[in-house]
Structure 1
Amino acid sequence: MSLTRLAIQRPLTVLMVILGIVLMGGVSYTHLRIDRLPPITIPFLGVNVTYPQASAQDVEQLVTQPIENAVSGMAGVDSISSTSSEGRASVTIQFSNGTNIDAAALDVGRRVAAIRRVLPADASDPTIFKADPNSTPIMNVALSGAPLDQLYDLANTQLQPQLQSISGVASVTIQGGLQREIQVTLDYAKLAAFNITVAQLNNALTAANVTAPVGALDLGTRSVNLRSVGAFEQVDSLKRLVITQTTTGGPVMLQDVATISDGYKQVTQYQRMNGKEAVGLTIVKQSDANELKVATDVRAALDKMKAILPDGTQLQITNDNSVFTRSSLEAIQHDLIIAVILVGAVMLLFLHQWKNTAIVLFAIPTVLISTFLFMYMLGFTLNIMTLMALALMIGILVDDSIVVLENIHRHLEMGESPRDAALNGRNEIGMAAVAITLADVIVYAPIAFVSGTVGQLFQQYGLTVVIATLLSLIVSFTLTPMVSSRWLRHTDPEAGRGPMARFGRWWDGWFARLGSLVGWLIPVTVRLRWPIAIASIAVFLACGALIRFGFIGTEYAPTEDDGNIRVNMNMPSGTSLATRDDGARQLEASLGTIPEIRNVFTNVGGGGANISVELVPKNERERSAQDVAQSIRDLGRNIPGATVSAN
């Protein structure tokens, strides 16, 4: 009551407060991060180690089991699972809900580092990763049109450093290409003749290939730092490396016991873009970065890099998750605008006066923009869940204002002045408006406190609804009666001669007839209460049976058509890289027969091949991504020894 009285008697003060909140909400909107989903912490950690050329049994005994033993005693661990395959070990650690996953990652890192000396020397350093949907790769880039060694050097020396320097980019990984390697092929007969062991030769190479500081030299008033430059820069220098001295005093050089050649590292994977040899770059954003801004900055950097590429070299984005994120958010914003328009049309239909409609519509932008302020203060992001909450709230936002405005209109018809009508009208239904609002709060607030991954997914959704609902109640107690006391006047509906007045009389007449029909039906339903009750229970049970017996399916989340399909082709363990590559080429040729496919990026390695398929825009194809994926699975059955999945 006092809040409404203040708004009516001191409108400028209240208006400045509301305007200040709205302005801060508008500024907060520009600072909100944009992501596809809310931040989700999944109690899961993974440890990956590569052990080239090792069998699955050796990987399990020498890599997987030591890691499992190291992390098995950690607090909060629910289960540990592992996969040992040829050349690769993957250990999955599942923690209980509520575990601080960041602290757990540090603990896992310390435990794995403590056993690093136990792992094989030629195994890679263990890589620890968390399951974060917002830390997945946002973009894949393919570089083609030149020899693979040149493509790798270009990606390693120019593209990767520039992309990693972009704000919000966490990592840029290069895949494929030919990496330069100086190869030393030992002649064991000559080693035996000179009585040199492999360990001696290895120690000599390690000791000589070092650049280190050796001190400082004072020259008058200056002090000059000195360093010993020993790192090999040319193949000839490596050939002349002295391994040892013979018994006669002559030196034994590396070229005397080995053949030194300038070559490339062993190829363990192939990359192709639409059938052409390529080098791939995978770009991962930081978990707290704005996905759309990072993607925009990366695209701008790639456009600049295209100008400095050698002739014939092509730089192409094979997958950009931000495109689907942007389109999803724009679709929700479009639905939000449509909802506002429809609410305005419905209110004009029933209230018959544009002033009443305008007063109620004022509440929508006021509440929505003010909600952004509290979202920013709570660290929320603009994502599918929060925007869906705002779209859902459009109808709820005007409930309180409509109830208040209708009662104010009734008091005006009773002959009260606009100010008295605004104050008395709001005062009469104040508790009813509070009850309506609290009912919505009670329904949506518990959603924000559900445990587990689902609770994290819906936390921002539930709190956004609660914040907007409470703000709508405040607006109905302040802005709505304040504007009503200045704008509304008592008018005789029978005296109007305009088209809106005539439409209002016609509408009210038909609405009165509908009311009469309802009045006639109520006594009938009371007399037939038992048949109606039984029919209602039967309908309820029938609807439940649709779910119980599988007529309506259930799933964690609906399938989305983002225009990208991920294809995995697996082959039996021990299959050679050449055989896997032949199978991938057969699948690529089959994909060329599908008209909906625009680009195909292939990565052959590991146990098979991973193929990223980009489809043409949704409005340019008749089939959905799910239908195309089924066609790919059907084509995969024609490849001998391969298991093809597509999703």
Structure 2
Amino acid sequence: MKIARLSVLKPVAMSMVIVLILILGLVSLRDLPVDLFPELTFPVAAVTVTYEGAGPEEIEQLITRPIEEIMSSIPNVESVSSTSRTGGALILVSFGWGTDMDFATLNMRERLDLIRDSLPREVPMPMVLRFDPSMLPITQLAITEPNGDLITAKKLVENEIKPFLDSVDGVAAVTVEGGTEQEIQLLVDPNKLNSYGVSLSQLQQLIGSENLNLPGGSLQDQNQNLPIRITSQFTSIFDLETLPIPTIQGNVPLGSLVEIKDTTKPVLQESYLNGEPSVGLSVLKASGANTVSVSRAINKRLEELKKNLPEGVEIKAIFDQSKFIEQSIRAVAWNMLLGSILAAAVLYLFLRNMRSTLIIGLSIPISIVTTFLFMYFSGLTLNVLTLGGLALGIGMMVDNAIVILENIYRLRQLGYSLKEAAIEGTSEIGGAIVASTLTTVVVFLPIVFVEGLAAQLFKPLALSVAFSLLASLFTALIIVPLLSSTFMKVSDEESSFQHGFNRTSDWYRGVLQKVLKKPKTTIMITFILFLASFGLTPFIGQEFLPAQDQGFVGIDARLPAGSALNSTYEMVQDIDQVLGEIAEIDLSYVTVGGTDNFSLAAGTQMNRANYNILLKDLSERKRSDVEVAEDIRNQLLKIPTAEIRVSASDSGFSGDPVSITVKGPDIDTLRILSDEVIELISRVDGVREPSSNFTAGNPEITVSINRERASFYGIRSAQVAGAINDATRGLVSTRLARSGDEIDVRLVIDERYTSSIEHLSQLLIDAPTGEKVPLHAIALIERDQGPNQIRRADRLREVTVRASILDRDLGSTINEIEETLRSEMSLPAGYRISFGGQNEQMQDAFFKLSGAIALAVILVYMVMAARFESFFSPFIIMFSVPITVIGVLIGLFITFQPLGVGSLVGILILTGIVVNNGIVLIDYINLLKSKGVDTYEAILEAGPTRLRPILMTALTTILGLIPLTLGFGEGTEIQQPMAIVIVFGLSFATFITLLLIPAIYYVADQWKENRKAKKSLELKV
């Protein structure tokens, strides 16, 4: 090849080019963003609407349905689902993968404008939000104060820690949760206030109007213009106590009308770190920012901050995504290094020449650095998957270099000079390695046409492998000939290994002779093995993505709706006792009164507690996070009345393992059917914690206003609602400035007047006539249970049952669930069941990736046909592709690994790899035949001659992937199935190819010659 000749004849110029590429590659490596996974974009947007005071049914009718209908008319919309709750609605709009979400959200806002006038007047404009994974926190912190003083802790967080972190480059937002704030409460006795002829609203206005600093114009005095300020702002509680309030009995100090308490605001949410009261901080990064860089900057700021914090204040990381990223990338990098060492060991074993081994060894870092350059300009990030792609490509990177070096080495042994051997050896085999590289690279082209989550995850991996192979082709064609022409040294002495390999080569020649005597027998035996391997498929399960041990366990614990915060805290104490016995737990952080995804409309849920549990490093524990979660799950079963879900190995972007949706018109029927589904799937082995998203209605008090009676007194419904709201929630009348903070001054009716329905019924309502009318005189007050929420999908009401899976694969579990529901459950007319979650994602990915594999086979054949200028040779080589199934199925069976997206991507890569050996072998057979050698002799000479490069390339690829196959370190779970598929598939395919391809070639060539002879005979006749 001309490029090889140029590199050998112009070594200085080529050396300078190589140095320049290395410098650029190292610079690009420094600037490559580092993340856990590639940046994901989900084609989902949400519409949120608030409608204070409206119930779920009214919201469904007046808001949800009109919005659903208008959203369904937008192009590329795949589904529309909604949740209607008291006070608001959330409508999720899912688009097809590949949709431009900026344009889609703009389209959503335009459609909402069309129906704005049809919505109730009091409803504010609906908000459109995009679902962005970057909205999830990258770091969560817990801050504890030595005395457990949450007022001080929260002030410290809001005034010192939060502003310090807000200024970190790449931080989008810092949110604070938990803690308490100071408040001054004015406890009101309604009867006492009534005796003075003062209403609550009048008292609020009087207090607010006195706490003011106002400008009073200006005064001209002695040639000076002096501004006038009226200072009447409260400076202490004493000012409040002595504030004169005009009443029917004269001016009375405020302290005589109300009881003034310096206290804290009512707590709706509490946070605890390892049982100690704490304040939580969540840090969100800006879109496109480098997660590791941002986390490192945050940790650096925290170290600076800790020096200035009061003694005893502690800041602990509950969750730090960068820690897992660094552990995962470190593990993959070590696997790459170990794979490189094993590949180099194989080279030395075969060549027994340190200089030749170093030549190949140098090609690995040069190829990797060149790959980083490609990655930088293509916009990829350094993450678990792109580095996994490099780890997968480590063994393949040296394949091209090995084939060329081995050929150069062989020619040197035949007496060629260094430069002649380098040029002739590269030119002789160059076309074959270009074709073999292109066959491996071209298999990734179909992934470009695959959509969905799997494609977003594996496209970067495919690109990194493709870039590494193209870089290895560059090093093989330029650097290997260059270094070989300068440094290669051939030993005339035959090593013991070489002597042993020659005996192996002779043995292989003998076996090949027997195969060629009965080629059809070899073909038949291979075909039988191929069919027999499918007998293993019932024992191999299916999964979407493998679970990743991130050392993190989550607990979602709930009491019956309406439970008070104190009851939830008692439940938390019971859970803490259980967690205290789990040795693997490093720290646990719980939020009592946690919010859910509907927090925009629903606010806090005081019956709920959310745990974030950080486990010790993987090296310090014997059990995986899934096993720890199962232990916690079993021990928490003894806590009564609580509904508790324990989760682990959650990647954050795949759905629930089991997700069954029941759809139909009536919500009560849906509840009954979902309960039946839960009961049936609970019997299925491996199913854990089945539960539905149908929640019983919250206990509530309904106040039904008698309009006739109320109108008799001139009282309107809004006035009644306002009076009740002021009585139960209090009324902020003003704010008191103290020590640099502003504290709410809240008028609160004494609890004893609102502690029961009877007391509430005595609440006095101000009539326009001046009368004080008790609430029971104009309204009926009773305890009731209202609906909680109504969920809809594609304009039908639905209830979804979700569950997790333990010690079973997803595919067989879903199949058993489907069979159970089909045989034991009958659905009423108008109702149906569908499966979603990971099963839906898995089926979609399997279908698309199977199509990609089929297309890859066609593309590989086309590349080989172009290389050989024939349809005959590529057709023979393609027989090496299906026989990989034997090794793939055996590998998955032996390692107890289910077939998943990672395995399918491994098969896709394998499709391009396995033909390489066939290309090298057939190319040499054709070369010998072109020189006039008989087909039988050409096969017998080409097989042993190409045995060493075939075994070397196969072994370097296989041994390079052994560390990933064994799953060393954190974050290798996704690459492990790919590595297993490639290692076992290539191992079996290599040995079968060495016998099967020659046999098929010989049979096909005989058939071809017989046909040619028959045609020539017919022409003579």
State TM-score, norm by structure 1. Answer: 0.85
Q: Is the 8 A contact 2:150 2:278 kept in 1?
A: yes
Alignment of 1:202-601 (within 5 A): 261-488=261-488, 491=490, 495-496=492-493, 501-523=494-516, 526=519, 528-529=521-522, 531-543=524-536, 545-546=537-538, 551-601=539-589
Question: Helix, strand or coil for the counterpart of 1:263?
Answer: strand
| Alignment correspondent of 1:152 | 154
Query: Take 2:530 and 2:265, find their aligned partners in 1: how far apart are those partners?
Result: 72
Deviation at 1:276, TM superposition (A): 1.6
Query: Take 1:355 and 1:231, find their aligned partners in 2: how far apart are those partners?
Result: 87
Deviation at 1:47, TM superposition (A): 5.9
Q: Is the 8 A contact 1:174 1:282 kept in 2?
A: yes
Question: Helix, strand or coil for the counterpart of 2:33?
Answer: coil
| Alignment correspondent of 2:173 | 171
Q: Is the 8 A contact 2:49 2:127 kept in 1?
A: yes
Residue by residue, what CA displacement relative to the aligned partner does 1:338-366 show, whole Å, maximum 9, x if unpaired?
11111111111122222222222222111
Question: Helix, strand or coil for the counterpart of 2:638?
Answer: coil
Q: Is the 8 A contact 1:79 1:94 kept in 2?
A: yes
Q: Number of paired residues? A: 628
Q: Is the 8 A contact 2:49 2:123 kept in 1?
A: no
Deviation at 1:11, TM superposition (A): 1.6
Q: Is the 8 A contact 1:636 1:643 kept in 2?
A: no
Deviation at 1:514, TM superposition (A): 3.6
Alignment of 1:69-148 (within 5 A): 69-70=66-67, 73-74=70-71, 75=74, 76-83=76-83, 90-104=90-104, 128=129, 130-132=131-133, 135-145=136-146, 146-148=148-150
Q: Is the 8 A contact 2:629 2:646 kept in 1?
A: yes
Deviation at 1:569, TM superposition (A): 0.9
Deviation at 1:271, TM superposition (A): 1.2
Cα distance, 1:196–1:563 mapped onto 2, change above 3 Å: same
Cα distance, 1:253–1:524 mapped onto 2, change above 3 Å: farther
Question: Helix, strand or coil for the counterpart of 1:561?
Answer: coil
Deviation at 1:14, TM superposition (A): 1.8
Query: Take 1:180 and 1:117, find their aligned partners in 2: how far apart are those partners?
Result: 38
Deviation at 1:327, TM superposition (A): 0.9
| Alignment correspondent of 2:887 | none
Residue by residue, what CA displacement relative to the aligned partner does 1:546-575 show, whole Å, maximum 9, x if unpaired?
3xxxx3232222112222211111222222
Query: Take 2:62 and 2:571, find their aligned partners in 1: how far apart are those partners?
Result: 33
Deviation at 1:239, TM superposition (A): 7.2
Query: Take 2:428 and 2:378, find their aligned partners in 1: how far apart are those partners?
Result: 35
Question: Helix, strand or coil for the counterpart of 1:139?
Answer: strand
Opposite residue 275 of structure 2, the aligned amino acid is G
Query: Take 1:440 and 1:183, find their aligned partners in 2: how far apart are those partners?
Result: 74
Query: Take 1:313 and 1:319, find their aligned partners in 2: how far apart are those partners?
Result: 19
Residue by residue, what CA displacement relative to the aligned partner does 1:461-480 show, whole Å, maximum 9, x if unpaired?
11111122112212222111
Opposite residue 641 of structure 2, the aligned amino acid is G
Query: Take 1:558 and 1:300, find their aligned partners in 2: how far apart are those partners?
Result: 34
Cα distance, 1:522–1:309 mapped onto 2, change above 3 Å: same
Segment drifting more, 623-632 vs 440-449: 440-449
Cα distance, 1:13–1:120 mapped onto 2, change above 3 Å: same
Which of 156, 161, 164 is equivalent to 2:163?
Answer: 161
Query: Take 1:30 and 1:62, find their aligned partners in 2: how far apart are those partners?
Result: 53
Q: Is the 8 A contact 2:367 2:472 kept in 1?
A: yes
Cα distance, 1:104–1:534 mapped onto 2, change above 3 Å: closer
Q: Is the 8 A contact 1:45 1:130 kept in 2?
A: yes
Deviation at 1:100, TM superposition (A): 2.6
Segment drifting more, 327-336 vs 13-22: 13-22
Cα distance, 1:405–1:208 mapped onto 2, change above 3 Å: farther
Q: Is the 8 A contact 2:48 2:90 kept in 1?
A: yes
Cα distance, 1:63–1:521 mapped onto 2, change above 3 Å: same
Q: Is the 8 A contact 1:445 1:463 kept in 2?
A: no
Q: Structure 2: any 5+ residue segments left out of the alignment?
A: 594-604, 648-1021
Opposite residue 319 of structure 2, the aligned amino acid is N
Q: Is the 8 A contact 1:151 1:278 kept in 2?
A: yes
Residue by residue, what CA displacement relative to the aligned partner does 1:78-116 show, whole Å, maximum 9, x if unpaired?
333344567886543323322333454566689899899
Query: Take 1:399 and 1:410, find their aligned partners in 2: how far apart are those partners?
Result: 16
Pair 1:58-2:55 in alignment: yes
Deviation at 1:294, TM superposition (A): 2.0
Query: Take 1:65 and 1:298, find their aligned partners in 2: how far apart are those partners?
Result: 46
Query: Take 1:125 and 1:159, find their aligned partners in 2: how far apart are those partners?
Result: 34
Residue by residue, what CA displacement relative to the aligned partner does 1:204-260 show, whole Å, maximum 9, x if unpaired?
7778878899999999999999999898765566778899x8899x99998797666
Query: Take 1:598 and 1:576, find their aligned partners in 2: how far apart are those partners?
Result: 29
Deviation at 1:533, TM superposition (A): 4.6
Q: CA RMSD in A?
A: 4.0
Question: Helix, strand or coil for the counterpart of 1:170?
Answer: strand
Query: Take 2:98 and 2:223, find their aligned partners in 1: how far apart are those partners?
Result: 63
Cα distance, 1:570–1:246 mapped onto 2, change above 3 Å: closer
Q: Is the 8 A contact 2:64 2:82 kept in 1?
A: no
Q: Is the 8 A contact 1:48 1:91 kept in 2?
A: yes
Segment drifting more, 520-529 vs 141-150: 520-529
Query: Take 1:327 and 1:601, find their aligned partners in 2: how far apart are those partners?
Result: 22
Residue by residue, what CA displacement relative to the aligned partner does 1:477-532 show, whole Å, maximum 9, x if unpaired?
2111122222235x4x5x42xxxx42344333332344245325524762534751
Structure exhibiting the larger radius of gyration computed from Cα positions: 2
Cα distance, 1:329–1:82 mapped onto 2, change above 3 Å: same
Query: Take 1:252 and 1:360, find their aligned partners in 2: how far apart are those partners?
Result: 96
Query: Take 1:449 and 1:221, find their aligned partners in 2: how far apart are those partners?
Result: 82
Deviation at 1:333, TM superposition (A): 0.2
Opposite residue 281 of structure 2, the aligned amino acid is L
Q: Is the 8 A contact 2:138 2:291 kept in 1?
A: no
Segment drifting more, 75-84 vs 234-243: 234-243
Q: Is the 8 A contact 1:68 1:80 kept in 2?
A: no
| Alignment correspondent of 1:23 | 23
Q: Structure 1: any 5+ residue segments left out of the alignment?
A: none
Question: Helix, strand or coil for the counterpart of 1:73?
Answer: helix
Opposite residue 589 of structure 2, the aligned amino acid is F
Cα distance, 1:580–1:586 mapped onto 2, change above 3 Å: same
Q: Is the 8 A contact 1:172 1:284 kept in 2?
A: yes
